[in-house]
Amino acid sequence: MARARLRVAVGLLWLLRIGAFVLLFAPIALVIAMSFGGDAYATFPPRSWSFKWYLNVFRRDEFASSFLTSLTVAALVTPISVGIGTLAAYGLWRRPGATARALESVFMSPVLLPLVVTGLAVLVFVNRVGIGTGIPAIVGAHVAITFPYAFRAVLAALGRYDRRLDEAAASLKVRPFRTFWHVTLPLIRPGIVAGAMFAFVMSFDDFAATIFLIAPDTRTLPIAIYQYMEFNLDPTVSAVSSLLVVLATIGVLVVERVIGVDRFFGIGDSTR
Amino acid sequence: MSEIVLSLSAVEIRYGASKVVEAASFDVRDGEFVTLLGPSGSGKTSLLRAIAGFVPVAAGEVRLLGHRVNDMPAYERDVGLVFQNYALFPHMTVAENLSFGPRMMKLPTAETATRVDEALQHVRLGAYAGRYPHELSGGQQQRVAIARALAMRSKLLLLDEPMSNLDARLRAEMRVELVALLRGIGATALSVTHNQEEALAMSDRVIVMAEGGIRQIGTPGEIYRFPADAFVAGFIGDANVIEATFAAVDGEATRFTVPWGETVRAAGRAPEEGDALLLLRPESVGVCAPGEAPDVASNRVRGRLVARAYMGAYVEMRAALGGIELVAKVPADHASAHLALGDDIVLHWRPDVVRVIRR
Amino acid sequence: MTGSRGPALDSRLLLLPALLVFAAFAAALLDLLSWSFHATGRIGAAPSGELGLSVYARVLSDPLYLSALATTLRLSAVATAGSLLLGLPIAFWIVRTPSARMRATLIILVAVPFMTSLIVRLYALLLALGNNGLVNRALQATGVIAENDFIPLIRNETSVAIGLVYFVLPFVVFTLAGSFKRFDRTLEEAAANLGADELVVLFRVTLPLMAPGILAAGTLAFVLAGTAFATPLVLGGSAVRMVANVIYDQALFAQNLPVAAALSAVALAFTIACLWLAGRLGRWGSNA
């Protein structure tokens, strides 16, 4: 009886696993398949095959320009978030104590904020101050959103760093800034890179906060895709989506190479 | 008199509200190897770190070559520090580790290279210049740590438990090597350890610490033969510490009343009357069977053999008498080593091996 | 770290940029929330009308807003349950598999959808669940429904629920796996040694000990689903409105900033309440 019960349970377990991966991948596989369809509207299965939708992506203004906007924003947000995050993490790490712990909570607090609230708050702010929406506003919102993750990544890297190396450098008459640059930074670089990757992806992918801050001629790629698919049913969206999937895959593989996906997502063992 | 490299006066170190080190005063002269010796919690490591500049000094003065350095940050002090865990930079080769300090001081490349080579020669690791720390054994890493400090040519070398991470055999070898090396280059060193054998073997002078205070400063011989108090007596080597009371003067010696009722003769005049502790080293205590006659002038006492341990080079024997135990160390091939447990034995010692310590 | 005062000053300077960013953001947030105390106002104009809690009274009594709140809570609960149900087996697999390669592969397989823009994933779901989408086509092909017939799978709560599970699943998997890896397997071995079979071990030993991790993942899922914006927008259309959608509409279309601000405050309170509650439950669980 117990054996049968066990078999059912194991069967159920594998069913759930397969179901989960189907949920995760079947839609994506579908999109990629559809992107090669020859028809003007999305049908499945496609009746003919073509690359023309990919060409359309590059030809259509809104995708090219919004991709550039997304890239620009992410390229601005990442160094800002990582830069400020590294300084903050290093500053807290240098003087541990109750104040440092309290500040750590403060710096992590934006993760509590719903993205729409962040977007709306920044919108109200830029209107008050007179800057208006557009790239600076979007960058500002994205920095607020991504900073906690960059900060935490660097803080985690510092947690694994041996404080006595700093003392060793001081015993060699090396001043604190030089110590940070030549000793600490090289050793926490993987953590910084991980934080940077995370910040870049979060900024690039963001929709909910960004949608409050777009301007008539300024929008990011996710927004452009959404606006396009509201009115158009052709597989161009599938094509640009497939490109983004490829981008995500490359990003994940790079992370695996640099520091390992297990450590990046907090599942690594300490022995690595 | 050689110059004073390091001078501490009435140094006090606090951790929060508690005093970790109190009233520490001593000097280290040029070319000396001085060891701070004490159990954990004695404050010796805190004192070393304060001299290096990593721990603030609450009171008193620390002077390096005559200059007061209390407020000087660690990276400005001319001291080299060899860390207990070596703290080698894992992302740099041995050569880069060694050249790091000189490079940051903006020394000319040629000068840096010379220093690195010299330091590597001193520790005999010339062939390992291109290796990374994780490719080296523990002993090699220790030598790199020493070489890195040597390359700085500081006036004072600080060593934090230098032998503690080495296995027993390597420890014995390195003790000799390190002292020879430092003497060869004329370095001045202050070392910290809890291992009294190491301290006695390596140092010109030993500073014994306990519970934040300095108990005694002296050469290894002085510390061992004339311990200042019961703690030092017990910490350095093995000791029989006997509570005693002044009884009478006896010619050139003094008599003391001891717990087992009789009196013991100690050579020399004890200046004061009253309570004292008598220190007796086990290796100075001889053992014989009742009936065998030791030298007439010797003190003797009869007890029951309660424990015997064969230690290879000697046999340790414990005798119970009058409510206390006395320990004797006897050569392994000595006749008395074959006495059986439970037997009555006689312990004997000459008056001149009895040390009198104030209570 | 040293005896002098220098480094202390340096450390404080290091924190300055982050603190400035924070101060600016906190100011913006407080400004937004202050709008909720004015009766009327829109973006670009100054707040007007009387000061007071009238907006909150309106928000918490008007059926329009209440239904959005109810929908939000309902769908978040479903999404949490669904993502935990699907996420636990995968997290287990990731942590228990002996092969490091397999573990990395599984993590990569979950990470790729995670790092793909949400809009792309929602579009993909749209394709799958649409009237002419994969599911309906499959049902037509296998004869379950007629050739031109379709089951409406989008623009209703079902699709939004599926979408929320899809959105939240990677977060849940990573949180669960992260907390499972600290689990001490010798406890399971001890139970087996005492005669418990695999199922009993699972339900009596493993799951109870993993409860804190499950709680953390569930809380995260609930909060993420509750504040979701894109998913109900794309998959629900105008038929399914969650709090985030209402905030957007009120702020940008209805020109009703006070209501948007009040709902933002509610959303914020909801998040904080969930985390606090989870913290309490966690402590209660470990004390029991």
Name the closest residue on chain A to residue B98, using Cα atoms: A172
Q: Which chain A residues contact residue B74 at CB under 8 A?
A: 167, 170-171
Select the residue of A24, A90, A117 nearest C14 (Cβ to Cβ).
A90
* Residue where one domain finishes, among candidates B176, B211, B234: B234
Q: Which of A30-34, A132-136, B270-274, C149-153 has the least mean pLDDT? A: B270-274
Co-location of B145 and B73 in the same domain:
yes
* Residue where one domain finishes, among candidates B176, B199, B234: B234
Give me the pLDDT at residue C2, please. Answer: 44
CA C83, C88, C94: angle at the middle one, nearest 5? Answer: 125
- The pLDDT tens digits for B184-206 are 999 999 999 999 999 999 999 99
Query: Do residues B216 and B232 make contact, with C-beta atoms less than 8 angstroms apart?
Result: yes
Neighbors of chain C with 3 or more C-beta pairs under 8 Å: A, B
Co-location of B56 and B187 in the same domain:
yes
Query: Do residues B319 and B304 make contact, with C-beta atoms less than 8 angstroms apart?
Result: yes
Select the residue of B87, B90, B100 nearest A167 (Cβ to Cβ).
B87
C215 vs A: CB within 8 A: no
Please give the share of chain C, as a percent, with pLDDT higher than 90. 30
Q: Which of A65-79, A205-219, C46-60, C262-276 has the least mean pLDDT? A: C46-60
Q: A220: pLDDT confidence band, cut at 50, 70 and 90?
A: very high
Give me the pLDDT at residue B271, please. Answer: 64
Q: Which of B51-65, C134-148, C229-243 has the least mean pLDDT? A: C134-148
- The pLDDT tens digits for C68-94 are 999 999 999 999 999 999 999 999 888
Interface test mutation site (partner C, options B47, B61, B71, max chain C beta carbons within 10 A): B71
Which domain CATH number covers B353?
Answer: 2.40.50.100
Q: Cβ separation of A248 and C268 shorter than 8 Å?
A: no
Q: Cβ separation of A174 and B100 shorter than 8 Å?
A: yes
Mean pLDDT computed over A34-46: 68
B251 vs A: CB within 8 A: no
Range of the domain at C178: 62-287
Domain count, chain C: 1
pLDDT(C9) > 80? no
Interface test mutation site (partner B, options A166, A167, A172, max chain B beta carbons within 10 A): A172
Nearest to A152 by CA among A92, A235, A237: A92
Name the closest residue on chain A to residue C44, using Cα atoms: A127
C208 vs A: CB within 8 A: no
- The pLDDT tens digits for B154-167 are 999 999 999 988 88
Range of the domain at B334: 242-358
pLDDT(C279) > 60? yes
Q: Cβ separation of B75 and A182 shorter than 8 Å?
A: no
Co-location of B93 and B188 in the same domain:
yes
Give me the pLDDT at residue C3, please. Answer: 40
Interface test mutation site (partner A, options B45, B48, B69, B104, max chain A beta carbons within 10 A): B104
Name the closest residue on chain A to residue C168, using Cα atoms: A24
What is the pTM assigned to this prediction?
0.81
| Nearest-neighbour CA in chain A from B181: distance (Å) | 20
pLDDT(B261) > 80? no
Give me the pLDDT at residue C178, please. Answer: 83
Classify residue C48: in a domain, yes or no. Answer: no
Mean pLDDT of chain C: 84
| Nearest-neighbour CA in chain C from A237: distance (Å) | 8
C93 vs A: CB within 8 A: yes
Name the closest residue on chain A to residue B147, using Cα atoms: A172
Strand partners, B321: B324
Select the residue of A84, A112, A255 nearest C272 (Cβ to Cβ).
A112
Give me the pLDDT at residue C5, please. Answer: 41
DSSP string, chain C: --SSSHHHHHHHHHHHHHHHHHHHHHHHHHHHHHHTTEEE--TTS--EEEESSHHHHHHTT-HHHHHHHHHHHHHHHHHHHHHHHHHHHHHHHHHH-S-HHHHHHHHHHHHHHHHS-HHHHHHHHHHHHSTTSHHHHHHHHTTSS-TT-----SSSHHHHHHHHHHHHHHHHHHHHHHHHTT--THHHHHHHHTT--HHHIIIIIIHHHHHHHHHHHHHHHHHHHHT--HHIIIIITTT---HHHHHHHHHHTS--HHHHHHHHHHHHHHHHHHHHHHHHHHHHHHH-
State which of A73-77, A102-106, C107-111, C282-286 shows the largest mean pLDDT. A73-77
| Nearest-neighbour CA in chain C from A16: distance (Å) | 6
State which of C140-144, C170-174, C271-275 shows the largest mean pLDDT. C170-174
Residue-wise over A102-129: b if at least 16 C-beta within 10 A, else e? ebbeebeebeebbbbbbbbbbbbbbbee
Q: Cβ separation of A248 and C31 shorter than 8 Å?
A: no
Q: Which two tokens stand for residue C111?
A: 């990470």
Q: Which of A48-52, A101-105, A235-239, C275-279 has the least mean pLDDT? A: A48-52
- The pLDDT tens digits for A128-174 are 888 888 899 999 999 999 999 899 889 988 988 999 999 999 999 99
Q: Cβ separation of A175 and B90 shorter than 8 Å?
A: no
CA-to-CA separations, B184 to A8, A90, B149, B178, in angstroms, rounded: 78, 42, 16, 10
Classify residue C56: in a domain, yes or no. Answer: no
Co-location of B82 and B154 in the same domain:
yes
- The pLDDT tens digits for A239-256 are 888 889 998 898 888 888
Mean pLDDT computed over A176-188: 93
Query: Do residues B11 and B61 make contact, with C-beta atoms less than 8 angstroms apart?
Result: yes
Q: Cβ separation of B74 and A162 shorter than 8 Å?
A: no
Mean pLDDT computed over B143-160: 94
Co-location of B96 and B218 in the same domain:
yes
Co-location of B100 and B181 in the same domain:
yes
Q: Which two tokens stand for residue C70?
A: 């109810």
Give me the pLDDT at residue A147, please. Answer: 93
Classify residue C27: in a domain, yes or no. Answer: no
Select the residue of C22, C35, C118 nearest A205 (Cβ to Cβ).
C118
Domain count, chain B: 2
Which domain CATH number covers C188?
Answer: 1.10.3720.10
Q: Which chain B residues contact residue C1 at CB under 8 A?
A: 54, 74
Co-location of B75 and B193 in the same domain:
yes
pLDDT(C286) > 60? no
pLDDT(C10) > 80? no
Mean pLDDT of chain B: 89
- The pLDDT tens digits for C207-227 are 788 888 888 899 989 999 999
Co-location of B22 and B126 in the same domain:
yes
C238 vs B: CB within 8 A: no
Q: Which chain B residues contact residue C6 at CB under 8 A?
A: 73
Select the residue of A171, A175, A186 nearest B81 (Cβ to Cβ).
A171
Nearest to C275 by CA among A101, A145, A267, A113: A113
Mean pLDDT computed over C254-270: 89
| Helix, strand, coil shares, percent, chain A, to 5 | 75, 0, 20
Q: Cβ separation of A248 and C112 shorter than 8 Å?
A: yes
Co-location of B353 and B327 in the same domain:
yes
Please give the share of chain A, as a percent, with pLDDT higher than 70. 93
C residues 3..42 contacting B (CB < 8 A): 3-4, 6-7
Co-location of B97 and B200 in the same domain:
yes
Q: Cβ separation of C111 and A261 shorter than 8 Å?
A: yes
Q: C49: pLDDT confidence band, cut at 50, 70 and 90?
A: confident
How many Cβ pairs closer than 8 A exist between chain B and C? Answer: 22
pLDDT(B214) > 80? yes
Co-location of B246 and B217 in the same domain:
no
pLDDT(A212) > 60? yes
Neighbors of chain B with 3 or more C-beta pairs under 8 Å: A, C
- The pLDDT tens digits for A54-78 are 877 778 778 888 999 999 999 999 9
Classify residue C38: in a domain, yes or no. Answer: no
- The pLDDT tens digits for C118-133 are 999 998 888 888 777 7
Q: Cβ separation of A169 and B53 shorter than 8 Å?
A: no
* Residue where one domain finishes, among candidates B234, B261, B289: B234
Give me the pLDDT at residue C4, please. Answer: 40
| Domains within chain A, CATH numbers bracketed | 60-222+245-264 (1.10.3720.10)
Query: Do residues C279 and A149 make contact, with C-beta atoms less than 8 angstroms apart?
Result: no
Nearest to B352 by CA among B295, B287, B307: B295
Q: B250: pLDDT confidence band, cut at 50, 70 and 90?
A: confident
| Nearest-neighbour CA in chain C from B218: distance (Å) | 30
Q: Which chain B residues contact residue A178 at CB under 8 A?
A: 104
Which domain CATH number covers B226?
Answer: 3.40.50.300
Give me the pLDDT at residue C200, please. Answer: 75
Name the closest residue on chain C to residue A118, using Cα atoms: C29
State which of A186-195, C56-65, C139-148 shows the largest mean pLDDT. A186-195
Co-location of B209 and B99 in the same domain:
yes
Please give the share of chain C, as a percent, with pLDDT higher than 70. 93
Classify residue C69: in a domain, yes or no. Answer: yes
Q: Cβ separation of B104 and A174 shorter than 8 Å?
A: yes
Classify residue C207: in a domain, yes or no. Answer: yes
